[in-house]
């Protein structure tokens, strides 16, 4: 955390013959200061930013400031090389549907604390205490995400200026399950520092997508199987290997998929990842489709307001137990209720296998794969009612569910 250097020149679309230092200063503050406040702007120039080409306004060591339609965009480049503590955290006690998050709100920080409060924060949330300097203050930026199995934060830069510290970070929270995860960034600061401001950043990929498509995802991202989740129920404790076909199409996985997953599975569905030792209840992934689903001649047309009752009945026919049905409905219900009507169809095993095969060893006695595709409608359409069959669910059972929006 160094001293503030001279203000760098911003990029100019046209280069006049001369510019006064005052105009240069005002131009930089106009780009950055208006959007994020003068205090935040001061922090940006504590190191010498190098002007870059095209739409990049300032290019720093660990991040850059770009602009899209005159709006400043902060883009993460690399990890901060100063002294700090970063924890990506699971909250196993906050898994499930009937969760009371009032206490978890105390984990949410954006503040500067003294040593005793930092120590208490670590003890309360079971975080290893890295720092022991009792004469230092500590800036803490932390948050949690309900229903996400995978939260990863990265710290790009820290700027101290007088009584304030600015923290630049990037966080990704992917997937939707019953899990709760979060992150905490802790930075030791001078005792005269009493305020912290935090700036969340985009990844380079998100930035490029914003330029091309106006959103952080490539539109082809939506042509995917959404939230496939796999449950394993062996008859006795055993090590189980799970591999997916077309693994090159995976866009996200948890735990990280590396030539398959290896877990220790219990009859009640509890899992332990043998690579990380992490306790799980399911395996999660998202993947691009090899062959897109589409509206077929058969299926169901369901009013949005009737979606919950419809899913309760059909998922029972398709072999899901109460917990699996609940997680399926909790994820898909908001999407279905957003439309007046929905065309809904459940893919056959053959159709599912064309996109992603599922190989489990030891071989299970029963495999249940439920894939729902749907399309929101303003008016009802006529389709043949799809005939559903109830699969056998005996012995070592593997259950998977997911879906996609057409």
Q: What is the pLDDT of residues 294-329, one digit of tens each?
A: 668 889 999 999 999 999 999 999 999 998 999 899
pTM of the model: 0.53
158 within 8 A of 2, measured Cβ to Cβ: no
What percentage of the chain has pLDDT greater than the value 90?
47
pLDDT value, residue 397: 96
pLDDT value, residue 122: 94
**Local confidence band at 97 (pLDDT 50, 70, 90 cut-offs):** very low
Regarding predicted confidence, which is higher, 237 or 94? 237
pLDDT value, residue 50: 44
Beta bridge partners of 262: 241
Q: Where are the domains of the chain?
A: 85-206, 219-405
pLDDT value, residue 226: 56
Copy the structure tokens of residue 256: 């990280």
pLDDT value, residue 278: 86
| Least confident residue range of 54-58, 182-186, 215-219 | 215-219
Buried b (16+ CB within 10 A) or exposed e, 112-134: bbebeebbebbeebebeeebeee
Q: Is the pLDDT of residue 37 over 50?
A: no
Q: What is the 3-state secondary structure (H, E, C) of 200-223?
A: ECECHHHHHHHHHHCCCCCHHHHC
Average pLDDT, the chain: 81
pLDDT value, residue 15: 39
The rounded Cα 46 to chain-centroid distance in angstroms is: 31
Mean pLDDT to the nearest integer, 76-93: 89
| Least confident residue range of 144-153, 161-170, 222-231, 344-353 | 222-231
| Least confident residue range of 290-294, 319-323, 375-379 | 290-294
| Least confident residue range of 32-46, 94-108, 252-266, 272-286 | 32-46
Q: Is the pLDDT of residue 164 over 90?
A: yes
pLDDT value, residue 211: 83
CB atoms within 10 A of CB 351: 16
pLDDT value, residue 344: 93
Range of 35-39, 97-101, 239-243, 250-254 with top mean pLDDT: 239-243
Mean pLDDT to the nearest integer, 281-292: 78
Burial class for 232, CB neighbours closer than 10 Å (0-12, 13-18, 19+):
buried
pLDDT value, residue 256: 86
Q: Is the pLDDT of residue 100 over 80?
A: no
Q: Which of 197, 166, 200 is nearest to 183 (CA)?
A: 200
Buried b (16+ CB within 10 A) or exposed e, 375-385: bebeeeeebee
pLDDT value, residue 276: 85
pLDDT value, residue 292: 64
pLDDT value, residue 99: 58
| Least confident residue range of 210-219, 304-313, 369-378 | 210-219
pLDDT value, residue 71: 83
Regarding predicted confidence, which is higher, 119 or 39? 119
């Amino acid at each position: 955390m160094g001293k503030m250097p001279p203000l760098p020149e911003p990029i100019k679309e046209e280069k006049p013959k001369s510019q006064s230092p005052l105009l240069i200063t005002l131009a930089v503050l106009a780009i950055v200061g208006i959007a994020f406040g003068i205090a935040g702007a001061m922090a940006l120039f504590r190191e010498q930013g190098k002007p870059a080409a095209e739409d990049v306004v300032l290019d720093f060591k660990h991040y850059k400031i770009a602009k899209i339609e005159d709006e400043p965009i902060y883009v993460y480049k690399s990890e901060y090389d100063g002294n700090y503590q970063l924890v990506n955290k699971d909250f196993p006690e906050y898994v499930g549907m009937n969760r009371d998050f009032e206490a978890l709100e105390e984990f949410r920080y954006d503040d500067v604390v003294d040593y005793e409060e930092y120590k208490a924060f670590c003890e309360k949330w079971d975080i290893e205490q890295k720092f022991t300097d009792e004469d230092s203050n500590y800036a803490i930026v932390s948050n949690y995400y309900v229903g996400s199995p995978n939260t990863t934060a990265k710290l790009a830069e820290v700027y101290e200026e007088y009584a304030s510290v600015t923290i630049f970070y990037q966080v990704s929270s992917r997937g939707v399950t019953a899990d709760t995860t979060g992150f905490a960034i802790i930075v030791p600061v001078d005792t005269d520092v009493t305020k912290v401001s935090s700036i969340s950043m985009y990844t380079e990929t998100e930035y490029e997508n914003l330029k091309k498509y106006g959103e952080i995802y490539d539109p082809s991202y939506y042509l995917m199987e959404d939230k496939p989740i796999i449950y394993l129920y062996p008859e006795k404790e055993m090590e189980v290997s799970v591999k997916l076909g077309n693994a090159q199409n995976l866009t996200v996985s948890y735990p990280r998929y590396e030539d398959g997953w290896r877990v220790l599975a219990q009859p009640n569905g509890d899992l332990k990842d043998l690579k990380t030792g992490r306790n799980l209840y399911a395996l999660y992934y998202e993947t691009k489709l090899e062959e897109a689903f589409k509206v077929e001649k058969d299926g169901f047309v369901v009013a949005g307001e009737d979606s919950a009752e419809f899913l309760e009945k059909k998922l029972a026919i398709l072999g899901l137990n109460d917990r699996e049905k609940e997680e399926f409905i909790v994820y898909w219900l908001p999407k279905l209720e957003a439309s007046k009507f929905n065309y809904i169809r459940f893919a056959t095993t053959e159709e599912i296998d064309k996109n992603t095969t599922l190989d489990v060893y030891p071989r299970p006695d029963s495999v249940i794969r439920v894939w729902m595709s749907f399309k929101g409608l303003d008016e009802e359409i006529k389709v043949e009612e799809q005939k559903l069959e109830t699969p056998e669910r005996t012995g070592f059972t593997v259950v998977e569910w997911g879906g996609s929006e057409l």
